[in-house]
A and B are shown apart, each in its own frame.
Chain A
């Protein structure tokens, strides 16, 4: 591992930080004089940034000091919205404590088993880019490649990763048709991206040493009869890089990828910057953190779906329509449920958000106690729908 020894103080500090808010220009000095080290035995100095020359593309690397998914998603979003990537690109690397990240237009009830997640303390979050559901833990590295819309190129980013890993650890990585990184026919990375009119980012996971059994367990949703138009996930068998090469670790990959990325810029530049996603460093990030971690984003953004009960039967008895995470309407079909129960069910469920409050009302309600036993499955499914929890 290398120790960055040069400490240059940059006179015009703002080289890469093109567009920060007026009044926060002091941020630069504050940010760059810190000595954030994440790795115990490696000394990385956050050095100043040299001033820009015209027409030169610059490559920056940020590494997050936080392992909270919401903080990291917020930082990613902050960078997407507030940085200018006309003359530079940024590689942002981050990893999180166990969590599941679903794509922008996905349905969490279809993708994961919420009860299992709650039991195992796994957080659920929704990202801004498309694509499918992924499981993260600290053995997984996320790389977000930021650039201007014009220079957005997914494949070249993936090539970076493949080549740098190949040259260091001799891993035979290839890029599949779906733009996943594949090793020995197993998926080791998933990709997604977000394009705006000025900026774009492409991010991908990298399975280094992830708890595979937990991954399999969590990303397995039980069928509860949901019909929806949300983006489905395409499941593939996965593999940890560690299984092939035992010396590899997330921290080492950060170093390698970071340096490789920087070397590819045409300007002499800085080292890896370890950042704290705090309000001081990134003004406005707290609001983003809150918006990523609240119920309305995670569950309320789900495209509308219908739950048919009982599942699997040709003629369902009950149809629940959920829109924006709220039970919009209930349809009792075929007159199979007694009128008094159907009225009480409607009263209990209609216009309710699928959240803890509804969970508790269903548990404490006496509607199900009086209904036949065959309806206990309905109760279970309703409880599963309401096991939404936001930490």
Chain B
């Protein structure tokens, strides 16, 4: 990969657009509006991370104390106002670590190294002395920056500048093109930069080149990690695609490298659907839940469905008729008799709103996580309509293109966890609803019939959870009984057909 012949002075114009493009994301990230402050950095209060993560292999890097550098103006002490990282977080070079304040100046301290934060020396509101360690970073050997990013930090070339400027922008002393972090590494290891082969653009020495050089100097040590190709995602700052590179780690000569462990921890930030779920679950558990479970004999329903499948009317409509449309429609019919279960309470529980539409949500497991779209106005739909709507929503859900209209406005939820497995469950209510049902697996079990004989029965469990502030056990029980009655004797659904 490395080649001295790579020292080509490129015409600046050819790469002008390339530089512009790569400058694109320097600190100017798309900010989700509500929770990110103008500084655009990771905010402790609303942990949406704007930096990317790398899947880690255990770092056997050295713990480097990152000292608080001189702020200037003769300032010796600053107050640590906000941390953007915590112990165990991964940081990349130039990621913001914390915000300190000194005498009306608010300073953002950025990391000098790539690595993992192993220790924070100060807490929020502590006075930190300039020159003392601020954090300890376990420096990694993995290189995630790629050639253009080096340029971004150093070159910042305004358009229209002449080509020679490329060379003069770097510290002219050695005329070796590289970044400050690599220079520091060289001085730490007492390496002459001219000895190192640069593989970056114009022969720039990249961190990887430096590390490789250091490796080659220590030929006695083994390198167990050289073969690992950690799939890495781009940091926000480098917009251009990175070729994946193997990562030889740095280590000091004193450390004896232990044998590589079997499993690795992987930290991911919680984003998107998972985050929304985390938030809604936190809100949901403020509701006092009570559970009510029952068993439903699905024998008649199973045979009904079986016969309907063969029916020409169903065949010609080409819709897959599972149990779910029946569950949903039966629930809606039962809700007509128990409107309190289709209501909503406000946050302070001062008002209860009895919702007119039965927008019954059903839990869907997609590659993105758990989502709960809802079928609107089930009270006006037939079983077939519900089935069609379900199919539509399922397709959208699998593609990941469900709209907000489909995901909001639910008034009641059914979760068919039984399609995956399980019998009894303890579902969590989705605010602002007040009830939810979890349907278990259909199992074939022996049961006694009226004559006292043991017969085969298809048994399915259902577990309801309801908000005990507005719903009492009796209402829930009666609702469940009614729903059960509809399903055990599907012909009774005809009685209440509207």
A contact set with B: CB distance below 8 Å: 12, 14-22, 25, 51-52, 54-55, 73-74, 77-78, 81-82, 84, 86-87, 103-105, 128-132, 152, 154, 178-179, 191-198, 202, 229, 231, 284, 287-288, 290-292, 294, 296-297, 300-301, 303, 323-324, 347-348, 351-352, 361, 365
Of B20, B38, B102, the residue contacting A291 (CB under 8 A) is B38
Chain A residue numbers with a CB within 8 Å of B20 are 19-22, 25
Which B residues from 5 to 63 make CB contacts under 8 A with A?
Answer: 17, 20-21, 23-24, 26-28, 30-31, 33-40, 43, 45-46
Q: Is the interface of B mostly helix, strand, loop or mixed?
A: loop
The interface stretch among B151-159, B329-337, B441-449 is B151-159
Among B31, B109, B156, B168, the most chain A Cβ lie within 10 Å of the Cβ of B156
Task: Determine whether the beta carbon of B24 is less than 8 Å from that of A192.
Answer: no
Chain A residue numbers with a CB within 8 Å of B161 are 51-52, 54
Of A19, A55, A292, the residue contacting B26 (CB under 8 A) is A19
Asked whether A104 and B31 contact (CB < 8 A) given A84-B158, A130-B105, A192-B105, the answer is no
- Which B residue sits closest to A150, measured CB to CB? B72
Please give me the 6 A-B residue pairs with the lowest Cβ-Cβ distance, nearest first.
A12-B160, A14-B159, A131-B104, A130-B106, A18-B158, A197-B110
Task: Determine whether the beta carbon of A194 is less than 8 Å from that of B38.
Answer: no
Asked whether A19 and B110 contact (CB < 8 A) given A287-B30, A294-B34, A347-B348, the answer is no
Q: Report the minimum CB–CB distance from B195 to chain A (whole Å).
A: 29
Task: Determine whether the beta carbon of A19 is less than 8 Å from that of B105.
Answer: no
Of A22, A54, A131, A198, the residue contacting B162 (CB under 8 A) is A54
Chain B residue numbers with a CB within 8 Å of A197 are 94, 108-110
Task: Determine whether the beta carbon of A81 is less than 8 Å from that of B28.
Answer: yes
Chain A residue numbers with a CB within 8 Å of B107 are 194-196
Task: Determine whether the beta carbon of B38 is less than 8 Å from that of A128.
Answer: yes
Not counting A15-B158, A351-B286, a sample of 18 additional A-B residue pairs whose C-beta atoms are within 8 angstroms of each other reads: A18-B159, A19-B26, A21-B28, A22-B20, A51-B160, A51-B161, A54-B162, A82-B27, A82-B28, A104-B106, A129-B106, A131-B105, A229-B125, A287-B33, A292-B38, A301-B43, A301-B45, A365-B348
Q: How far is the CA of A291 from the CA of B33 in the complex (A)?
A: 6
Asked whether A196 and B104 contact (CB < 8 A) given A22-B24, A81-B40, the answer is no
- B81 beta carbon closer than 8 Å to chain A: yes
Task: Determine whether the beta carbon of A74 is less than 8 Å from that of B38.
Answer: yes
Task: Determine whether the beta carbon of A19 is less than 8 Å from that of B94.
Answer: no
Task: Determine whether the beta carbon of B31 is less than 8 Å from that of A288.
Answer: yes
Q: Report the minimum CB–CB distance from B149 to chain A (whole Å).
A: 13
- Give 23 A-B contacts (CB < 8 Å), ordered by A residue: A14-B158, A14-B160, A18-B156, A19-B156, A22-B17, A25-B159, A105-B81, A130-B104, A131-B105, A191-B104, A193-B105, A194-B107, A195-B71, A195-B106, A196-B107, A196-B108, A284-B28, A291-B36, A296-B34, A296-B37, A300-B46, A303-B124, A361-B348
Q: Report the minimum CB–CB distance from A105 to chain B (whole Å).
A: 5
- B99 beta carbon closer than 8 Å to chain A: yes
Task: Determine whether the beta carbon of A288 is less than 8 Å from that of B38.
Answer: yes
Task: Determine whether the beta carbon of A324 is less than 8 Å from that of B28.
Answer: no
Among A22, A132, A288, the most chain B Cβ lie within 10 Å of the Cβ of A22
Q: How far is the CA of A86 from the CA of B23 in the complex (A)?
A: 15
Task: Determine whether the beta carbon of B45 is less than 8 Å from that of A300.
Answer: yes
Task: Determine whether the beta carbon of A324 is less than 8 Å from that of B104.
Answer: no
Task: Determine whether the beta carbon of A52 is less than 8 Å from that of B158.
Answer: yes
- B491 beta carbon closer than 8 Å to chain A: no
Among B17, B33, B105, B165, the most chain A Cβ lie within 10 Å of the Cβ of B105
- Which B residue sits closest to A154, measured CB to CB? B73
- B101 beta carbon closer than 8 Å to chain A: yes
Task: Determine whether the beta carbon of B160 is less than 8 Å from that of A15.
Answer: yes
Among B73, B82, B104, B105, the most chain A Cβ lie within 10 Å of the Cβ of B104
